[in-house]
Amino acid sequence: MARPKPLSGFPEFAPAGRIIEQRVLASLTETFELHGFGSIETRAVEPLSELTRKGEIDKEVFVVRRLHAEAGVADELGLHFDLTVPFARYVLEHAGQLNFPFRRYQIQKAWRGERPQEGRYREFTQADIDIVGSETLAAHHDAELPLVTLAALERLHVDFGVPPATMSVNNRQLSEGFYRGLGVSDHLAVLQRVDKLDKIGPDAVATLLVDEVGLSRADATKCLQLAGIRTADASFVDQVNALGVEHPLLTTGLELLAEVVDAAAAAVPGRLVADLKIARGLDYYTGTVYETTMAGYESMGSISSGGRYDSLASDGRTTYPGVGLSIGVSRILVPLIGKGVLTASRSVPTCVLVAVDAEETRGDAMATAAQLRARGIACEVAPKADKFGKQIRYADRRGIPFVWFSSGEVKDIRSGEQVAADADTWLPPAGDLKPTVVRSSLAQ
């Protein structure tokens, strides 16, 4: 086999990068569990019929079939392209074993056959949280979910130097109420055009609204004025009311969005804004919608998106409404690790290399390593009874900070300091025990 080339769109980390990913996933896990979300994992495959129900995405599905499947047997399975479709199926399949409202997180890979680019991969890791009710789900969960997500992202920022996140939130009932208040019947048609604002600009959107949806120039202007509202507090309510449009759905939407913004202003100040142009493409969202940018990486798109869906799943008898947010772990980490914004303090878990005097005394070195491990200190025994200088260089190449000698001494190979030590009591400095994530000067 010649040296293989990387497969475009399938990023893989070298060991040091993987250590960073492990720390990030452990941090996300801890935040989610502290908020009472339990883990589930679903199988990688779902029925193709479920994966291709949403017309928008079917071109991106990877089909899975047995190499020696009988000829003529139709393909039935595909790799999941997100964690929401599998979660909806899981809820229906396991409903009898779940308590509602069901709070779950799910950290898994997903696959899409689309063209790879920065922030967009064919295989990527997502970390999703959702709360799903049986028949009903209280509105306050729409305010809770972004707080959990922003708390998780804030910890990545504070602990590891991941750039800070800003979440933009809107509410579809607000937009729909506003459009209906203007007398528009096809509110989705308006939403779809407004969604193009960032791509084609306000003038082009106004033209589409007039030419394609049949709005008056004045109403189109009002739609753009609505989309232009962006506030870090609940002052958007007054700005919307000043536009003079009225509708019960609009009132409800304003109240719900204000609740979300107020809760966030108290818990994670400065990290969440009401942004009334946010639409989110997928059409199953029915209320609050979220998207999130990472400072300095806005062009990559949203690193965390989601929303409220009033019927995530239904088995015909019971409907399960939910609200969810997904963090794009690969979208965040692949660029940050690739550019060296985040690095690991070393590329191995090993804290101590136990030197070997001679192959005959390897058993003694193994016994010392076992003593250290029993107290949580990760050790390797030197692979070869080389001269000590060579064994120290072996440790140095891996970033292993300490070398232990059978003389009962341990050397910090960075400072060169060598002290007498007892394998039953010695401890490294806390910061050396495990590899850590180091923010480079590139981090904000």
Q: Which stretch binds a copy of itself (CB under 8 A): 82-90, 209-217, 410-418, 436-444?
A: 82-90
Beta bridge partners of 320: 313
42 binding a copy of itself? (CB under 8 A) = yes
Please tell me whether residue 389 binds a copy of itself under the rule CB under 8 A. no
Residue type, 240: V
Contacts of 98 (CB under 8 A, 6+ apart): 91
Span near a copy of itself by CB under 8 A; candidates 32-40, 248-256, 274-282, 295-303: 32-40
Nearest to 261 by CA among 157, 170, 139, 155: 170
Among 397, 408, 419, 444, binds a copy of itself (CB under 8 A): 397
| Window 83 to 102, contacts with a copy of itself (CB under 8 A) | 88-90, 92-95, 97-99, 101
Does position 313 bind a copy of itself by CB under 8 A?
yes
Q: Say whether residue 24 binds a copy of itself (CB under 8 A).
A: no
- 123 in contact with a copy of itself (CB under 8 A): yes
Is the CB of residue 206 less than 8 Å from the CB of residue 217?
yes
Q: Give the β-pairing of 352-354 and 379-381.
A: parallel
Does the protein bind a copy of itself through residue 390 (CB under 8 A)? no
Q: Note whether 299 binds a copy of itself by CB under 8 A.
A: no
- Residues 222, 423: Cα–Cα separation, whole Å: 74
Q: Which is nearer to a copy of itself, 20 or 165 (CB)?
A: 20
- Asked if residue 265 binds a copy of itself (CB under 8 A), the reply is no
In this chain, which of 8, 376, 408, 409 binds a copy of itself, going by CB under 8 A?
A: 376
> Residue 233 interacts with a copy of itself (CB under 8 A)?
no
Cα(35)–Cα(29) distance, rounded to whole angstroms? Answer: 10
For residue 267, the SS3 value is: helix
- Chosen residue from 230, 349, 418, 428 binding a copy of itself by CB under 8 A: 349
The rounded distance, in Å, linking the Cα atoms of 382 and 101 is: 53
Q: Is 5 in the site for a copy of itself (CB under 8 A)?
A: yes
Among residues 24, 27, 28, 48, the one that binds a copy of itself under rule CB under 8 A: 48
Q: Of 142-201, which residues contact a copy of itself (CB under 8 A)? A: 144
340 binds a copy of itself (CB under 8 A): no
Q: Which is nearer to a copy of itself, 1 or 420 (CB)?
A: 1
Minimum separation from the CB atom of position 142 to a copy of itself (A): 13
- Residue 4, Cα to own-chain centre: how many angstroms? 30
Q: Does 290 bind a copy of itself (CB under 8 A)?
A: no
Q: Using the minimum distance from each CB to a copy of itself, give the nearer residue, 46 or 291.
A: 46
DSSP code per residue over 117-181:
BTTB-SEEEEEEEEEE-SS---THHHHHHHHHHHHHHHHHHHHH-PPPEEEEEEEHHHHHHHHHH
Least distance from a copy of itself to the Cβ atom of residue 408, Å: 21
Select from 108-116, 231-239, 298-306, 332-340 the region that touches a copy of itself (CB under 8 A).
108-116
Interface residue with a copy of itself among 8, 59, 270, 339 (CB under 8 A) is 59
Scan for tokens 């991106």, then name that residue.
Answer: 60
Taking the least distance from each CB to a copy of itself, the nearer of 201 and 383 is 383
**Alpha-carbon span 326 to 328, nearest angstrom:** 6
Q: Does 437 bind a copy of itself (CB under 8 A)?
A: no
Scan for tokens 């019960």, then name that residue. Answer: 248
Q: What angle do CA 353, 338, 12 make, to 5 degrees?
A: 70
Rounded CA separation 250/438 (Å): 47
Please give the structure tokens belonging to residue 276: 């009334």
Residue 271 binds to a copy of itself (criterion: CB under 8 A): no
Per the document, the length of the chain is 444
Smallest distance from a copy of itself to CB 121, Å: 10
Query: Interface with a copy of itself includes 35 (CB under 8 A)?
Result: yes
d(CA 75, CA 49): 10
Q: Which is nearer to a copy of itself, 163 or 324 (CB)?
A: 324
Contact 344, 438 (CB under 8 A): yes
